A and B are shown apart, each in its own frame.
Chain A
């Protein structure tokens, strides 16, 4: 697999764009899935996954062919996802009163966004609920949990993708698991 991919990469470096289409073909589902689970939105997932492939194409000469290509791709994609999540976060003051409401500040709005009422949760389908719970995780834990349990990657590879020591990856997975347990306590 790696030898095959490296052959294509060599072609891409020589200027053969069609060889890159074969690479996209190979990894599209994996990369799209990670982006979808991280972002919880199909349009954004598609946009970020395409962006990740584009960056890989433009910077392909910086890829070290002794390493695993999928790790490098995942790394580009998770970094883009984390950036996107952070940009989406509101940067207004939590104490500010929400316009058009009386006495309703951002604390109450966030609480509303963050946790749906129980009867609504009960009506959710399982798949919808899984995505909802993942997207409630802090982004630090979310990346580790998605790579571990959705992509089912070994811990060593996750540590390389997130550029974190193995111990830190383990801690994030433990805390992510614990956070999910608490979120699901009513299940």
Chain B
């Protein structure tokens, strides 16, 4: 009676998997020639493989593609937008930022429909009109929103009028006069002021470091 090497089943499996090296293959062949039991087992296994491989190839039904496409979720506009957002996260973020920023600015502009002006002593208000009375001197810058300005006395400073008019009169203004009427100008003005403020901060920083 032959004693079979312990690894003979393993060798058979390697052989059937198609990953056996030549020396192992030699070893297996020699053993199978001398051992009828193992030969029978090997033949049964390879017959099994041949049997399974004899399974004929099967084709999908002829309407398979059509039916599959019918089951797909319909491409919706929203899906397209979502996919675009997913593919361009930076652009999406930038677009959202711009949208929010512009909304904020315009809302600000529209909310400021109330009549208001810089508080200064000596100023007289008549309805929607701010008046610097004759003989009085106002020192400092003056901003009037949603109202008009009439200067009869003297104003030592700059004037800014938003959505209003400077009504020419006999008064004296030592600074610049600026009238802002439209949303776009208001935006431009805000930006300009922002830069001026930023520049002022940098300048003070510079002078501090220079000190």
Contacts and interface: CB of A to CB of B under 8 A. Distances in A.
Interface of A: 13, 15, 17, 20-21, 24-25, 28-29, 31-33, 36-37, 46, 49-51, 53-54, 57-58, 61, 126-127, 130-131, 133-134, 145, 149-150, 155, 170, 173-174, 177-178, 180-181, 184-185, 187
B59 A29 contact: yes
Given A17-B69, A17-B75, A50-B71, A150 B13 contact: no
22 contacts: A25-B65, A28-B64, A29-B59, A32-B59, A33-B60, A46-B60, A46-B67, A49-B64, A53-B71, A54-B71, A54-B73, A126-B54, A133-B51, A149-B55, A150-B53, A170-B17, A177-B48, A177-B49, A178-B45, A180-B48, A181-B44, A187-B51
A180 B52 contact: yes
B78 to A, nearest CB: 12
A28 B69 CA distance: 12
A133 B87 CA distance: 48
A28 B54 CA distance: 21
B201 interface: no
Nearest to A184: B48
Interface of B: 13, 16-17, 19, 41, 44-45, 47-49, 51-61, 64-65, 67-69, 71-73, 75, 79-80, 83, 86-87
A149 B60 contact: no
Given A13-B83, A50-B68, A61-B86, A150 B52 contact: yes
Contacts of B44: 181, 184-185
B56 A127 contact: yes
B101 to A, nearest CB: 30
